[in-house]
Structure formats: structure tokens, C-alpha cells
Amino acid sequence: MRPSGRHPEATREITLTRGFTRHAEGSVLVTFGETRVLCTASVETGVPRWLRGKGQGWLTAEYGMLPRATHTRGGREAARGKQGGRTVEIQRLIGRSLRAAIDLKKLGEYTITIDCDVLQADGGTRTAAITGGCVAMVDALRHLQRSRQITTDPLKQLVSAVSVGIYKGEPVTDLDYDEDGAADTDMNVVMTEDGGIIEVQGTAEQAAFSRRELDALLDMAEAGCSQIFEKQREALGVRD
């Protein structure tokens, strides 16, 4: 039924390549099928003005899409002089999701910036960005610990994200571009390893959806995130 021939509950092939670039404290190329996002985590000393002196750190995220990551070329936001609404919405989501994964008190007065740049888009860039950004963030936290800048681990637990939706009447996991454009409902779910929900964003595209459909989608999201946590742990060399 799915254009890709995937089973409804199957995610695309997911890979997480650490150390993809060399300068950042964390640098991960994440792919969800043909979607490819470069996630870097940069550590800077200090926190934004409004947090100074509170003895805690901060994490923020920025998102961008290379102009020709998509089927047709999109204008370069730097040239247009402003970030689009979709960009702003996504980077706020990434930031909130990853802040939920760490204890900002334990981070101390450091700021971690997660840059998620989409090299190639085929649906699900925001969930790939959260998933890959989490791994880059862990590398940055390890860097801070190795260099003795912090002495306890701020990580509470891993965070991953997946999109689910109703495509031709059926709930499916990890929609690609072809499914995304045709789906009735599109939902992004961010979860913690122990099954907690960090963020749910569900939107009716064509028709309202019911509680029953919402439940089915949440079930799928839980299953999808479980698979993704496996990939993250494997990439990070941790056992569950």
C-alpha cells in the first residue's frame, strides 16, 4: 500500500554516523531513508543574558535546509534576510525536545547549540533532526566530561522522534515525502527511552481525526521510537 512498499509499522532505514565533520564537539549525520541531516553540537562557555548567574546551562537549536535539499530549489533564507515560519517552528521544537533530555543544572554555565542542516529532504526532517541531534548532544556532553569542564553527566535519558500519520486510511510510521503530501493526518511524537512523551504535535490535514485514530498513531509512534532508541544506543556504544 505504501509507495515504498514498507509495512505500515516499518520505519525507513536509519543510520547515525558520528564524527561526520571534525570541528564540532558532536557531529552526526543522520539518515532516515533518503532524508539526510547533519547535526552538530557546539559547546560555548556562558549562557544567554537572561540566565546569567542562575548556575545552570542552556541548550538551543537552529535548523536550516540547503536550498537544493528539495525537489525544487527553495530560496536561501540568509539571502532573503529572514527565516521562514516553518523553520522557526521546527527549530523551537528541536530545542524544547532536547532540553527535556538533560538536566540544565548539571550542565553548568555552558550553552550547547544544536545545528541541524538538511542536506537532502524526503520527509521527516524534524524527527530525524531530533534523533540525530540527541546523539550529537551526547557527544558534546561526553566532551565536556572528558575535558573535566563538568563532573556529572547531565543526560537524563535519550530522546528520539518519529512521525506517524494516516495514509489512505491506515496508520503508518515514518512517512516519506510521497506519503506526507497525501496523508490525512500527520503527527510528530518525541519520546524518552522509558516511554514518556516529550512532545506530541498532531495536525489534521484533510479531515479531523478521532481519539481512536490518535491512539493507534501513538501506539505506532511508541513502537517506532523503540526501534530508533536501538539505533541511537548502538551508535553511541551503550547497552540498554
56 interacts with its own copies by CB under 8 A: no
Whether the CB-CB separation of 39 and 19 falls below 8 Å is answered with no
154 interacts with its own copies by CB under 8 A: no
- 125 marked as part of a ligand binding site: yes
**Cα three-residue angle 123-193-33, rounded to 5 degrees:** 25
Contact string (CB under 8 A) for its own copies, positions 121-150, x = contact:
x-----------------------------
Contact pick of 31, 35, 40, 232 for its own copies (by CB under 8 A): 40
17 interacts with its own copies by CB under 8 A: no
Q: From residue 129, how far is each of 27, 57, 202, 206, 210 by CA, in Å?
A: 12, 21, 18, 26, 28
Q: Which residue has the cell 548502538?
A: 234
Q: Please state, in angstroms and rounded to a whole number, the distance separating the CA atoms of residues 108 and 21.
A: 26
Question: Which candidate, 60, 58, 30, 24, places its Cα nearest to that of 42?
Answer: 24
- 99 marked as part of a ligand binding site: no
209 interacts with its own copies by CB under 8 A: yes
Binding residue count for its own copies, defined by CB under 8 A: 64
Contact string (CB under 8 A) for its own copies, positions 19-38, x = contact:
--xxxx--x------x-x-x
List binding-site positions: 86, 124-126
